Amino acid sequence: MKLNLKIWRQKNRDSKGKIATYTVKNISKDSSFLEMLDILNNDLLEKGEEPVAFDHDCREGICGMCSLYINGKAHGPDSRVTTCQLHMRKFNDGETIYIEPWRAKALPIIKDLVVDRTAFDRIQQAGGYISVNTSGNTQDANLTPIPKNDADKSFDAATCIGCAACVATCKNSSAMLFVSAKVSQYAMLPQGRVEAKERVINMVKQMDKEGFGNCSNTGACEIECPKGISLENIAKLNREYLSATLSTK
C-alpha cells in the first residue's frame, strides 16, 4: 500500500505545531498502524530527518500508552481496539490519513503526538485506592464472599487502561468515564465501601482542578473507549457523589 500521511509535528510544549505531509510506500496490509509509523520513522532517519514522536509500549492493547487521533477518531476507525491493535487492512491503498495527538487543556502536548496524561495519575492519588498496608496479616482472602455479579462488574470497570481516549473524544474534554470507572470499581466491593464517600468527593475535586470539562451525557466516550467501559459507571459515580455530598453537608 501507498499512503499519504498528514501528521501533527510540534517541537515541544511551548512551540507551535503544524501538520506535515509524508508519503510511505510498500506497506503490508498485515502490518499494524504503529508498524507503519515505524517504517515512516526509519525512512526519515535514513534521510537524516527527525522522526515522529509517539507513545507506545505493550503494542497489545493493555498498557494504555498509545494514543492517536486518526482521521478524526480516537484510536482510529476500528472499534474496541487501541491504536496499537489497529491494522492497515482497515485503510485503502492511496488513502490520506490524518494523525493528531489527543487534544484537551488537561492533556498538554509534549512533542509531536505525545501528550502529558499525568493528570490521570493525580486524580488517582486523590483517592483511587483502599487504605490498607501490606502487613501480610490481612484477613484470609475468602473470609468475605463477594457476589460474583458484583465482582464481575467491578472487574469490568477496572479494565480501563487509562488511555484518555474518552477525554480526547469528548467535546467538553471531560474525564468522567475514566474517573467513574475507578470509583465504581471500588464502590462495588465491600472493601471499597469504607472510604467510598471521601474517595468520590476527592477524586471529582481533583478532576475539576486539573481542568477537565463537565460531562453533558453525550456518550461519545463510551463509543470510542477501546475497552468498552460503560456509561453506567458515570451514572454510578453521580449517585455516589450525590449521596456523599448530601451526607457530608
Partner 1 sequence: MKKITFAINYRKAKAKYNQDELVEICVRYYFLDKNTSKYKVKNMSTGVKCMLKDWDKDWHKNPERLPILKTDIDYIEKNKKLFELRKRILVDNFQKIDTEDKLFKSSKKLNAKIPNGEINLKWTNHKNNINLVNPANKRNIDIIVVGTGLAGGSASASLAELGYNVKSFCYQDSPRRAHSIAAQGGINAAKNYQNDGDSVHRLFYDTVKGGDYRSREANVYRLAEVSGNIIDQCVAQGVPFAREYGGLLDNRSFGGVLVSRTFYAKGQTGQQLLLGAYSAMNRQIAKGKIQMYNRHEMLELVLVEGKARGIIARNLETGEIKKYSAHAVVIASGGYGNVFYLSTNAMGSNVTASWKIHKKGAYFANPCFTQIHPTCIPRSGDHQSKLTLMSESLRNDGRIWVPKKIEDVKKIRNGDLKPIDIKEEERDYYLERRYPAFGNLVPRDVASRAAKERIDAGFGVNKTGEAVYLDYSSAIKRYGKEKALLIGIKKPSEKEIISLGEEIVEAKYGNLFQMYEKIVDENPYKTPMMIYPAVHYTMGGVWVDYNLMTSIPGCYCIGEANFSDHGANRLGASALMQGLADGYFVLPYTIGDYLADEIRTGPISTDTKEFDEAKKSVEEKIKKLANIKGSKPADYFHIKLGKIMWEYVGMSRNEKGLKTAIKEIKKLRSLFWKELFIPEDIYSMNKELEKAGRVLDFLELGELFALDALNRNESCGGHYREESVEKDGPQKGEAKRDDENYSYVSAWEYMDDPSKSVLHKEHLKFDNIELKQRSYK
Determine, following the binding rule CB under 8 A, whether residue 168 of this chain makes contact with partner 1. Answer: no
Q: Which is nearer to partner 1, 17 or 218 (CB)?
A: 17
Q: Which residues contact 95 (CB under 8 A, 6 or more apart)?
A: 3, 4
Q: Which does 229 bind (CB under 5 to 8 A by kind): ligand SF4, partner 1, ligand FES, none?
A: ligand SF4
Strands (E), the chain: 3-9, 18-24, 69-70, 73-74, 96-100, 109-111, 114-115
DSSP-derived 3-state class of residue 3 = strand
**3-state secondary structure string across 92-132:** CCCCEEEEECCCECCECEEECCEECCHHHHHHHHCCCCCCC
Read off the DSSP letter of residue 143: S
Applying CB under 6 A, among 36, 65, 157, 215 the residue interacting with ligand FES is 65
Distance CA 182, CA 163 (A): 13
φ/ψ of 126, rounded to 5, equals: -75, -10
- Closer residue to ligand FES in complex, CB, 111/227: 227
How, if at all, do strands 3-9 and 18-24 pair?
A: antiparallel
- Considering the complex, state which of residue 5 and residue 181 has its C-beta at the smaller distance from ligand SF4: 181
Shortest distance in whole angstroms from residue 160 CB to ligand SF4: 3
> What amino acid is encoded at 129 in this protein?
Y
82 in contact with ligand FES (CB under 6 A): yes
Judged by CB, which is closer to partner 1: 33, or 241? 33
Residue 220, interface with ligand SF4 (CB under 6 A)? no
Choose which of 7, 117, 169, 213 interacts with partner 1 (CB under 8 A). Answer: 117
State yes or no: residue 177 binds ligand SF4 (CB under 6 A).
Answer: yes
- With CB under 8 A as the contact rule, the residue among 151, 216, 228, 235 that binds partner 1 is 151
Q: Out of 99, 181, 196, 204, which residue is the one contacting ligand SF4 (CB under 6 A)?
A: 181
**Window 43 to 102, contacts with partner 1 (CB under 8 A):** 45-46, 48, 50-51, 53, 55-60, 62-65, 78, 81, 85, 87, 89
| 122 Cβ neighbours under 8 A, 6+ residues apart | 206, 210
Residue with Cβ nearer ligand FES (69 or 241) = 69
Treating both helix axes as pointing N-terminal to C-terminal, what angle do 118-125 and 176-187 enclose, rounded to 10 degrees? 30
Q: Which parts of this chain interact with ligand SF4 (CB under 6 A)?
A: 160-166, 177-178, 181, 225-227, 229
